[in-house]
Amino acid sequence: MREFLLSQKHIVYTEPLEVRAGTTVDVLYNPSNTVLNGSPEVWFRCSFNRWTHPSGPLPPQKMVNAENGSHLQATVRVPLDAYMMDFVFSESEEGGIYDNRDGMDYHIPVSDSMAKEPPMHIVHIAVEMAPIAKVGGLGDVVTSLSRAIQDLGHKVEVIFPKYDCLNLSNVKDLHCRQSFTWGGTEIKIWFGKVEGISVYFLEPQNGMFWVGCVYGKNDESRFGFFCHSALEFLLQSGSSPVSTKLSITALGLYYLYRSSPVAF
């Protein structure tokens, strides 16, 4: 993490570099390398614990010139129960144009916190997964990434099409849990474990995935339907994108491949 923070000093960094709970930290920001280049003012907007701290967002703070001449500076008192510092920058106190890292916001871990960061709930919507339906390297990525994140203590689930060509010998305790209706058809939801990862298999009863292969049969229509039905399943099961990190892995790369004029 230290090396990463140092690599970002041309945009933003803190002094001291390691942010500790219960201390005061300076945030230094260079707007010339961002969308706020040329703004006569820059305002710092901050909170903690992925914007969920009980004290809420701090009042916007107008940044001042730092001693190094290239950056602007704001000073923040870090609460004792903060495990993450979250912030964005804006061109005015009211808001206007924001530098929020293209919607990702800026986040810096806080050490020595009295509170522990709760585990994330991460859902991968994928169309390949080793070893049950592997065509290329994407299948390996979905499985290895899910296991690595799960090993860090987070809750990881995969939503996957129930192809009729699945290698079911590598799925443990497969059983049908429920069904729902969407897109003019019943969709059965099967559940099982693959390499220790919880997987929900969507089986539309219109036969979309009963074609004997992963790719090559009306792919855009089938995977477009799957993507929408997976999101509908999340909504109906109570997994909201507000509390769930949604990652459209292989499916997103598939559409990128289909729409890109550049060969991969």
Which pLDDT tens digits describe the chain residue by residue (264 residues)? 567 777 888 999 999 999 999 999 999 999 998 999 999 999 999 999 999 999 999 999 999 999 988 999 999 999 999 999 999 999 999 999 999 999 999 999 999 999 998 888 889 999 999 999 999 888 899 999 999 989 988 889 999 999 999 999 999 999 999 999 999 999 999 999 999 999 999 999 999 999 999 999 988 889 989 988 998 999 888 865 433 444 444 444 444 444 444 333
Give the number of other Cβ atoms within 10 Å of residue 196's Cβ: 12
Other Cβ atoms closer than 10 A to 29: 23
Instruction: Give me 156's structure tokens.
Output: 């990881």
Specify the CATH number for 121-259; select among 3.40.50.2000, 1.10.3720.10, 3.30.160.40, 3.40.1710.10. Answer: 3.40.50.2000
Q: Count other C-beta atoms under 10 Å from residue 12's C-beta.
A: 22
Could you state, in order of their start, the residue ranges of all structural domains in the chain? 2-111, 121-259
CATH architecture of 2-111: Sandwich (2.60)
